């Protein structure tokens, strides 16, 4: 087993934390632990997003770096008389990645292990085997024999349910496998950008944000941006890796290890051209690898931030990740580290004159 260094330990702590939308306390506390040493002030918006402020030039522009704390998961909605749990998906799920997967039900009495039930193939007709099971027909089995026993275990409607998976450094040690990369990797980038800038001069005030409820409508980014009133914003998130069998270049261009993705367009926004061109210029100047991508569906915190208040020039920088919105994803450590370097070096160059040029040229 690979010995975890300081960075890998942080990534494990972040991804192990349980936190679906509306239940972000645990990942927020992990992020607070790691970002506080590099911050001048910690605050929160009314929904629970964490905002870490680092002052450079206090009269300079405000720069917001936003990763979201929440992960896709489930919420208990009913307990039937036999003790099986019915649930609501929270965030986007595809039914084919769910059956027979292990989950953790987080209750007031502690964690309970469960599995999303499935029928054995022996009793399925040939036609039934070809059809995906609809999410509305799924249930979670926690080994309870009755509703009363499930209640005794501590389960109640509204409890969050998260995928169970152990953080793993793969045989190729650049490849990192974990649940909740979407979007604990964004939180990690926000932490490490502030760490990178700890002893560096920067002509602005930086806000490293762990936003809430991104997976259900980019909500926390809007409330956090309303508090911060940023001049420039960068959302950091996962993107689509197009380097596995069955995905064409028409669907997704990016390859893991080829650098962070600069998002040109997604369903939530058209990226700000001035900011995008500036970021690309810094990457080219420093020979930091990067990739362009456009995503027809989905969005990032930038989609919410850029239409906050009078409008904020915003861009999404993402990490190509395999198998997102499932129990486990894979990303490449080099992409993460290059994203941190690129964003931090961009921040070092964002003085008031440059920000004004980005905004109005």
In a domain, 195, yes or no: yes
| Domain of residue 139, CATH code | 2.40.30.40
Domain that holds residue 249: 6-71+179-360
Q: At what angle do helices 6-16 and 25-35 cross, to 10 degrees?
A: 160
pLDDT tens-digit readout, 73-123? 999 999 999 999 999 999 999 999 999 999 999 999 999 999 999 888 887
- What span, in angstroms and rounded, lies between the C-alpha atoms of 91 and 213? 9
The residues carrying an active-site annotation are 214
Same domain as 64, residue 38 = yes
Q: Supply the mean pLDDT for the chain.
A: 96
pLDDT tens-digit readout, 191-232? 999 999 999 999 999 999 999 999 999 999 999 999 999 999
In a domain, 238, yes or no: yes
Q: How many distinct structural domains can be found in the chain? A: 2
| Domain of residue 351, CATH code | 3.40.630.10
Q: Tell me the pairing of strands 160-163 and 41-44.
A: unpaired
Q: Which two tokens stand for residue 51?
A: 């905002």
Same domain as 268, residue 235 = yes
Same domain as 36, residue 80 = no
Same domain as 343, residue 194 = yes
- What span, in angstroms and rounded, lies between the C-alpha atoms of 297 and 290? 21
Same domain as 199, residue 128 = no
Q: Give the number of other CB atoms < 10 A from CB of residue 127.
A: 7
Same domain as 257, residue 132 = no
Rounded (10°) CA dihedral 280, 283, 289, 292: -10
pLDDT at 1: 58
Residue 52 has pLDDT above 90, yes or no: yes
In a domain, 168, yes or no: no
Same domain as 102, residue 30 = no
Identify the CA nearest to 356 among candidates 276, 275, 280: 275
Residue 67 has pLDDT above 90, yes or no: yes
**Over residues 289-311, mean pLDDT:** 94
Same domain as 223, residue 210 = yes
- What span, in angstroms and rounded, lies between the C-alpha atoms of 209 and 183? 12
Q: Give the number of other CB atoms < 10 A from CB of residue 246.
A: 5
In a domain, 121, yes or no: yes
């Amino acid at each position: 087993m690979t010995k975890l260094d300081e960075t890998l330990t942080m990534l494990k702590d972040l991804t192990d934390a349980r936190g679906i939308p509306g239940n972000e306390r645990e990942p927020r506390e992990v992020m607070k632990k790691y970002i506080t040493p590099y911050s001048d002030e910690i605050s929160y918006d009314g929904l629970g997003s964490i905002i870490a402020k680092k002052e450079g030039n206090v009269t300079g522009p405000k720069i917001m770096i936003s990763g979201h704390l929440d992960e896709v998961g489930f919420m208990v909605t009913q307990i039937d008389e036999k003790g099986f749990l019915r649930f609501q998906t929270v965030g986007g799920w595809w039914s084919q990645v769910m059956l027979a997967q292990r989950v953790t039900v987080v209750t007031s009495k502690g964690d309970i292990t469960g599995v999303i039930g499935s029928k054995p193939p022996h009793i399925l007709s040939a036609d039934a085997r070809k059809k995906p099971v609809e999410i509305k027909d799924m249930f979670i089995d926690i080994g309870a024999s009755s509703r009363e026993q499930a209640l005794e275990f501590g389960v109640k409607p509204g409890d969050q349910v998260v995928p169970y998976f152990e953080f793993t450094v793969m045989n190729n040690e650049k490849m990192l496998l974990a649940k909740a990369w979407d979007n604990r990797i964004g939180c990690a980038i926000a932490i490490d950008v502030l760490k990178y800038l700890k002893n560096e001069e920067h002509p602005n005030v930086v806000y490293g944000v762990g936003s809430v409820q991104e997976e259900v409508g980019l909500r926390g980014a809007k409330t956090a941006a309303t508090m911060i009133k940023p001049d420039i914003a960068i959302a950091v998130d996962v993107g689509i890796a197009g380097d596995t069998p069955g995905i064409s270049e028409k669907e997704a261009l990016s390859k893991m290890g080829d650098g962070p993705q600069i998002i040109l367009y997604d369903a939530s926004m058209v990226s700000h051209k001035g900011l995008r061109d500036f970021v690309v210029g810094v990457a080219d100047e420093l020979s930091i690898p990067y990739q362009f991508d456009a995503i027809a569906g989905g969005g990032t915190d930038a989609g919410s931030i850029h239409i906050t208040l009078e409008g904020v020039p915003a861009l999404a920088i993402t990490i190509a990740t395999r198998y997102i919105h499932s129990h486990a994803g894979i990303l490449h450590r080099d992409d993460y580290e290059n994203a941190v370097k690129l964003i931090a070096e961009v921040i070092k160059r964002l003085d008031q004159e440059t920000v004004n040029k980005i905004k109005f040229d």
